[in-house]
Structure 1
Amino acid sequence: MGYDISFHPIDIGLVEQRVVPFLAGHGGDHDLDDLIDHAVRQAKVRFRANAWGLGTRKAYAGPDFDTFLYLWGRPFFVTEEDPAAVAETVARYCDSTVDQVDDLARGQIALIDPALVNHVEPEVSGTLPTDENLAIGFRWKLDLLRDAALALRAGRQTIRNADGDDISAAGALTGNAQFCVVEFLAALLPGWIERGKVWPSELAERADTEDYVPLSGNEPLLGSLPTEFPALHWESDWTISSNYSIGGYATPADIRPFRNWLSGNAEALDEVGDQWDDRPYVRKALRKIDEALALAELTGSGFVEAAEIYIPMQGTMN
């Protein structure tokens, strides 16, 4: 099976202070409402930015428009070249409202060709759900895992899922917590999309490098859950082991060493990855990893590799 890979800056402070306590059953049911509202706003920003990217692809047939970077790679619509500038532009999109997207996107079009700006219109495909339905989409998994934690605290072994079936509360919580956390945080601070076996820990295993990538197990994404529910079997991993899974994690302090490792081992890493569609697949993946790390560095975040957070063929985009 193929892998829809993504590279994520991860706000570990938000994990520890807000998201995991909610999942663990602390506080009130509406404690994440402000973050849900933020995710809804960003969904609308992302939709508008993607429309500008699609419109640019339609209007400009030149070789400088890199579809797998601008549309199905970076978040939003960014055409900058320098990783620091890419990160800064993504951060501006994250902080913007829908009304501010058009000016941001036109600035990115001008970097390709200033004369192109007056010839591009956003290409809107489909419509977004209502704000209410967007909010439901962002929170239903969080609510389900919170229900699981509250059930376990009350001595109940099962909960009812969205289909009305009774499922194991312990299984729901331990089997989905890390993926749910990353999926939700990606709606607040987006990741980069790639495809194939090109995640950093996989490349590191296969490359001939003298040092090792500063990635470790992803148990920090569980926060206090293993301590609060010690009787449950909690698993963590240092790499992507299957579809719909979370791989290795790098702490905020490891981001600069990680970037140094990438640049210092670029040639060795480039030699080992799978080729796909006869394009420089690994080289582009390394660029995307570094840009995601640049955003992590800019925002003081950690980093995590993941599979199937985004599935472009199903319309799940960054």
Structure 2
Amino acid sequence: MSSPRPTVAAAAPLERPANRQKSVERGRKPKRLTPGRIGLYAFIAVAAAFFLLPAVIMIFTSLKSMDEIRDGSIFALPQHLDFSAWIAAWSTACTGLSCDGIRVGFWNSIKILVPSVVLSIAAGSILGYALSFWRVRGANVLFAILLLGAFLPYQIFIYPMVRGFSLLGIYNSLACIVTIHVIFGLPVMTLIFRNFYAGLPQELFNAARVDGGGFWRIFLYVILPMSTPILIVAAILQITGIWNDFILGLVFAGRENLPMTVQLNNVVNTTYGERTYNMNMAATILTAAVPLVVYFVSGRWFVRGIAAGAVKG
């Protein structure tokens, strides 16, 4: 007796689960260009050119000599690469009577950035964890007050805080500007951590409580190991925000701790004789280097962190 013939379903090759999942994530590749898709590509190209053109002009200008800048077009490529403007911007650019370059502001920004990022993320994660799992009395009122602080313009708080830190005796110091960044970063940090923790299974927290875990033990050994995506998001937000700050550093840091953005403003506005556009452009690019590096290195992690729950709730 002959064996039955295989059916069409049995003979058809099965699609691998990995390939099926990959195709679902990426979506189907369009087979032809439609007018709508052409318009979308054209809009993206125009938008990219609009935002990239100033950066390209800055780079070209920083690599030209002053004679070439005066005689040529701002869109022209440098005839000879000249990095002397970069060296001068870093080490010999003048801010008033001091001619030490913007490297002083760079190290000041590093001293401000590191403790501000660590302390603000630590405070925001702990507060978001407490508001998400421990059901503190008045937690909703406290969270509403924090959100109010996140949406109010911080300029209205400058004068009261100047008076307060002056009474405490730490105004115009490194401790003062770090405290300021931690205070102003706390509402946003609490918001994103609370929304992220709200998406975690409540059963994990309940099981840890049953096993005898306390506040800090659950946070350090259960919640924090699962917080890697949102920690990356918080770090990117704080690094870019604190590094790009100008007015808070100008008001609260003091003359000895002025950040790089304030030093850049002083370099650009300090002129003896001819204005050196190439050095000003080089100083601007050096000031923007840290946020750009953070974006290009960890941009994909930022998107993954957002997708993992940074904006849920």
Q: Normalising by structure 1, what TM-score?
A: 0.26
Higher relative contact order (Cα pairs below 8 Å, separated by 6+ residues): 1
Which of these two proteins has the greater Rg computed from alpha carbons? 2
